[in-house]
Amino acid sequence: MRIADKIAARQTFSFEIFPPKGELPLEEARAVATELAADRPDWISVTYSAGGSGNSANTVPIASSIEHELGVTALAHLTCLGSTRADVDAYVSGLADAGIENVLALRGDRAPGREAIDFEHASDLIEHLRASGADLCIGAACYPEGHVESPTEEESFESLYKKQEAGADYLVSQLFFDNEDFYRFREKCLRHRVRLSIVAGIMPFTSVKQIQRMAFTCGASIPAKVVKRLVLAGDDPADQARAGVEYACEQLVDLAANGVDGLHVYSMNKPAVAHAAHEALLACGYLGA
């Protein structure tokens, strides 16, 4: 089923999985996906890494397994930086052969040796996918606090508008730690003519080092209430992880209560994190039993 149709029908709940890298067996990713599927998400997204990181070739097989073996809608990521039109067309052909109709169109992170070839922006990729005639439901990324490479708020929203006009069906947000940032972003989207549904993406922090890394790479600010949680958790890694998951669950419950279009959990291949999120929403009545 097309994810845009699911979002139009109800408030959705979903997870993300990333395939194993290098020589790790695909069975490991399938095992994680099987545990995630037990919580009956509306979809499970599967990441894609370009530039030789070692897991992009696993995206389609894992998405196919999720879709056809587990009976859960799969969302296959596609990044375009460093790819040619022929590369993208071959990937899309593979999706079609595997019966996957949902794709998340992304530019991808800049890295040494990974430069734009045929696609400079995600909107270029979306435009190409639409022009190709592929029967795809296309999601795109958004950034509640602005893209780290956008010098102004206006430019960040202009990029979002281009994705919409190129043919994106809905948006999935990058992580954020203050729900008020998301609510302000949602209002600003309307003022900037961006009217797509927006799924809120939440990633639980599991350590001080992890949250620092996420804030730097994603441009997400760390509010004082998160810092206080980490201070209270102390130096024990288990206590830090527990505090992060609890905080993320509180975020999800608040977002659900405030009528967001969907809730997407970046579960970091940790089924326990996904289960905690599912249980928190179930307990508050935001998910069906």
Indicate which residues carry an active-site annotation: 16
Helices 26-37 & 59-68 angle (0-180, nearest 10): 40
Alpha carbons 99 and 121: distance in angstroms, whole number:
26
- Residue with tokens 């202009």, as numbered in its chain: 158
How far, CA to CA in Å, does 148 sit from each of 102, 135, 151, 156, 264?
26, 32, 8, 9, 21
For the chain, the first-to-last Cα distance in angstroms comes to 21
Helix (H) / strand (E) element for 201: namely: strand 197-202
Query: Could you tell me the two tokens for 251?
Result: 């975020």
- Residue with tokens 């979809």, as numbered in its chain: 43
